[in-house]
Chain A
């Protein structure tokens, strides 16, 4: 378990990771389980008076189909925001957290290069993101028959969960990149979370504000814009998220290997 920074990071995070898995999966399951009550049109009825722009923003146009419901509800708000906060907090801890607490000195005085430390921490974050998304997928597959969500196939759910993992990886990479420049955990977490929430808003409201281009800058667009719950795997979107994460990690490597480690 303690062979290298990658496994050690996961091992040290085992409790928190378990918490994230159970928490995120439980939230996803809970939201999904309301579907039978709302699918009979009650929801549609209740939202009739909502302005169309709001329905567009929150993907509320089709709340009766399983894919529409999950896309608006489970995968529309709470689960991606949890993924954002997982990425931001784990990424902020990866470099900035250890630097602030003074633990980075010890690791870097060992035969571990700065680049390797950063990459192994990032790999651990990516593994965590995958595990959390897999838990969400597992939970939804489990509840799918009972919650009458069989309109969405296992493959379509998996497609959305792949994008969910990549969304967490993206915000993790953003936090690692920020932490590589400024070794202050609170600052890095705060900045990443604020950017994440703004990006969420940009994806939801961009088109209404006539800012289609702004929507396309938001990682949330690549997470759900292609509607994987209906269209299955969106490899192009997934590629954008993965590519952007790689760019952020490379930028982090450049700054982190050049600067002083603070005490």
Chain B
């Protein structure tokens, strides 16, 4: 089967400004794809290209097997989209706004309005102008999910949401996957993506710098290790592959290990080990190394 989203050498320049520099990426049917990157990396640019709001400078995109430009109307029927900054006319009520958007979609567009509003604790009778930022974002979420689209394209969906609602949102995303829907979501926050995504792409300065499953990223991530020995050891012995931030304090060694801890374990094995502590790998840190342009493994 075709990929849900298929990007080949997709590039976008805004005048002389870089937007995106040749992105090749497949998003599979039925997966949750996390799209991460620092400010200005090109996440929103990618997403707006998928919706034909902007046109590529080079390369092609296929979404659900269709051309975003030529088949825009047919495609948009099958997509739910939440913009990075969701704006609607503030003078209408939430219900009015959602009804109208549902009508644009025709049959079944409004199927889930009531249920979603209840789960997100959104007041349908409120005027949009009177809503707080987070509550306005909920309106955006409802309109994206309400017609159970095949593909959800969400640009920073959790911005402005409180932790409780974020949790509900992650549930909605998981349910969407269980129902066979595909989710493409951008974010700045690794932890929320890590919690639901099957695969993650990390974008930096308009190019993909990592593309992998969450599992694989985890294996590659930096973890903190603390080893206690029976007798004092010297630091030199432990400057091996993958070890950084090494600190030896008498019998206690603390360091960070990226990738396989094999070399460290073999070095330690020459001594009597009395304690070993290894923390859950911190994807946030891996993510930061990519952000800062550190030595990430390019995809």
Contacts and interface: CB of A to CB of B under 8 A. Distances in A.
B87 A8 contact: no
Contacts, number: 67
Place the interface of chain A in its size category: 20 to 34
Interface of B: 44, 48, 51-55, 72-74, 76-77, 79, 81, 83, 85-89, 91-92, 96, 99-101, 103-106, 143
Interface in A238-263: 259-261, 263
Interface stretch (A84-92, A100-108, A139-147, A199-207): A100-108
B76 A8 contact: no
Contacts of B92: 12
B139 to A, nearest CB: 10
Interface in A1-55: 2-5, 8, 12
A46 B86 CA distance: 60
A3 B86 CA distance: 22
A102 B87 contact: yes
A259 B76 CA distance: 18
Contact of B53 (A3, A5, A108): A108
A102 B85 contact: yes
A4 B87 contact: no
Contacts of A105: 48, 51, 53, 83, 87
B142 to A, nearest CB: 13
Nearest to B80: A109
Given A2-B103, A8-B100, A109-B76, A260 B54 contact: yes
Given A2-B100, A111-B76, A106 B53 contact: no
A93 to B, nearest CB: 11
A105 B155 CA distance: 12
15 contacts: A12-B89, A103-B87, A105-B48, A105-B51, A105-B53, A105-B83, A106-B87, A108-B52, A109-B51, A110-B76, A110-B101, A111-B104, A111-B105, A112-B73, A260-B53
A215 B262 CA distance: 88
A101 B103 contact: no
A113 interface: yes
Contacts of A106: 81, 83, 86-88, 101, 143
The A contact surface, by secondary structure, is: loop
Interface of A: 2-5, 8, 12, 101-103, 105-113, 259-261, 263
Contact of B51 (A102, A103, A108): A108
A121 to B, nearest CB: 14
Contact of A102 (B76, B83, B104, B105): B83
Contact of B88 (A2, A3, A103, A111): A103
Contacts of B85: 102, 263
A106 B83 CA distance: 7
Contacts of B79: 109
A263 B104 CA distance: 22
B53 A261 contact: yes
A73 to B, nearest CB: 37
B160 to A, nearest CB: 15
A109 B87 contact: no
Contacts of A113: 72-73
A107 B73 CA distance: 11
B53 A103 contact: no
A15 to B, nearest CB: 9
Contact of A2 (B54, B72, B77, B96): B96
Nearest to A116: B73
Contacts of A108: 51-53
Contacts of B77: 111
A111 B91 contact: no
B105 A260 contact: no
A110 B105 contact: yes
Given A2-B96, A108-B51, 19 more contacts: A5-B104, A12-B89, A12-B91, A103-B88, A105-B53, A105-B87, A106-B101, A106-B143, A107-B104, A109-B51, A109-B76, A111-B74, A113-B72, A113-B73, A259-B55, A260-B53, A260-B54, A261-B48, A263-B44
